A and B are shown apart, each in its own frame.
Chain A
Amino acid sequence: TIGMVVVDGNGNLAGGTSTNGANHKVPGRVGDSPIAGAGAYVDNDVGGAAATGDGDVMMRFLPSYQAVESMRQGMDPTSAAQDAIKRIIRFYPQFSGALVAITKSGSYGAACHGFGTFHYSVRNRNMQNVTVEEVPC
């Protein structure tokens, strides 16, 4: 899956996902990616988030929505992502997944569980090229 959040030059946000899902899924199975609030979520007043991992679990918790709402309450992106992941592993300690979050002003962060180290991609006006960031899970 790719999950993406963009803030354009006017400060407007958009988010999106695209995936072919899980290997050997039961035919007809759909994961979190096409569900707003699960695979991705954006609100121009706050920021956005996008998730990746075990979609059968993530769609039960709407982690992207949770992260955006936590940022609305004042959390920084990394803390908001961590909080959303913690809510999942409380019920599913074997869960594997990650979340990237970004504020409307462009600060960003990520959190993960079960992947060892999670790598994600960023480009902003202060970077010369696309930068791959990493976060320990």
Chain B
Amino acid sequence: DEVFPVVVNTWPFTNATKTAWNVLNNGGSALDAVEQGCKQCEIDQCDGTVGFGGSPDENGETTLDAMIMDGVTHDVGSVADLRRIKDAISVARSVMEHSSHTLIAGESATNYAIEMGFKEESLSTNHSKKIWEDWKNKNCQPNYRRNVSPDANKSCGPYKPTKSLRAATHKNKEPRFSKDISITNHD
């Protein structure tokens, strides 16, 4: 039996679901609901995994990725490694609606967003700075680098590639690190 409209999202981010539902109830489209629902999570900084002030990179900077897809037309808009712009999902929708591209990344995505009227501001917070400082104080652990010198399992960078890697077999390469993926650290 058909039970739409329906909103479903990963994780118990109920405020985002509620926002999307309200958009539908007010006559908005599925695209409107997805944009506003995800935007709510960006505002709420859901679990620290969405929006500004979370998941700092090795340099302590928070960057954002977002994507929106239209099931009717197969249109897609995405931004990746977006810097200093909070409204990632809305920039993604802008890419879909105001360009013929699918994905814009990095500093150029920031420039695109500014050109389209989005506000440039820092994505760091005292919380994200603390996360980064704690990581640095723990010798940069955990760490996604591998097959590098100095040993990324013990030391901070800068790193250089291990010279003998190309002669290594599949078995003696360092295994892929993913132990730190959890409810509060994920894509």
Contact = CB atoms under 8 A, between A and B. Distances in A.
A53 B59 contact: no
A5 interface: yes
A20 interface: yes
Interface residues of B, number: 88
B118 interface: no
Contacts of B187: 1, 19, 21-22, 31-33, 39, 52-56, 58
B135 interface: yes
A111 B67 CA distance: 22
Contact of A20 (B21, B51, B102): B51
Nearest to A2: B41
A125 B185 contact: no
A83 interface: no
B135 A92 contact: no
Contacts, number: 310
A134 B1 CA distance: 22
A71 interface: no
Contact of B6 (A7, A15, A30): A7
Interface of B: 1-14, 16-18, 20-21, 24, 28-31, 33-35, 37-39, 41-42, 46, 48-52, 54-59, 61-72, 74, 76, 78-81, 88-89, 92, 102-103, 105-106, 123, 131-132, 135, 140, 142-145, 176, 178-183, 185-187
Please list the 5 inter-chain residue pairs (A to B) with the smallest Cβ-Cβ separation, ordered nearest first. A55-B187, A13-B71, A31-B187, A42-B71, A14-B30
